[in-house]
Amino acid sequence: MSHKVTRVSDTDVYPNEWARLIGRLTRRHGWNQKRVADALGTHPRTVSRWISGESTKISGTSMLLVAEAFGLDYATVAQAALGAQLHDRMKDDEAIQIIRDYEGVGDDIKAELIKHLIERREENEAALRREIDVLLRSSSKRAAEA
C-alpha cells in the first residue's frame, strides 16, 4: 500500500496526521514506543504500525486513551485519526461536524458515530468496486462475443 508522506522537518517523515501526532507526542514526552503502548494498554507493535502508517485503523477507545495519556482534547486526536483513515479521501466535513458541534455528547459517543460513518463509507466503496467489477466483466464478455 502506498502512503502519502508528510515531511515534518529534515529528519522526520510521517505518512499521515495520526502518525505525525503519535510520533511527535512520543518524542515530545521523551517516551519510547513501549511506554506509549503501556500507557494505552496496547502492544508496542501497534504503536510502531501507527507511526509508520502501516495501520490506519484507529479505534474510538484508542483515540480516547491517546487524548487522556497526553492531555489532549478529543477533537485534536479524532481529527488526526480521521486524517489517517481518510487521508486519500475528500475532506470529511460530517465527521468534523460531529467532533466540533455536539458539545453535550460524550467523546465515546462521538467516536462511535465517527466509526459508524467510516464503516458505512467503506461498505459503500466496496459495493461500488463490486459494481464496477461486474460492469467491466460484462463489457469484456460482450467484446469477446463480438
Tens-digit pLDDT profile for residues 54-79: 887 788 788 889 989 999 988 788 87
pLDDT band at residue 133 using 50, 70 and 90 as cut-offs = confident
Q: Which of 25-29, 33-37, 47-51, 124-128 has the lowest mean pLDDT?
A: 124-128
What is the model's pTM?
Answer: 0.55
**Which grid cell is 52?**
509508520
Instruction: Give domain limits for the chain.
Output: 6-145
6-145 CATH choice from 3.40.50.150, 3.40.50.2300, 3.40.50.720, 1.10.260.40: 1.10.260.40
What span, in angstroms and rounded, lies between the C-alpha atoms of 50 and 38?
15
Query: For residue range 101-130, what is the model confidence (pLDDT) as tens digits?
Result: 777 778 788 777 777 877 887 787 777 778
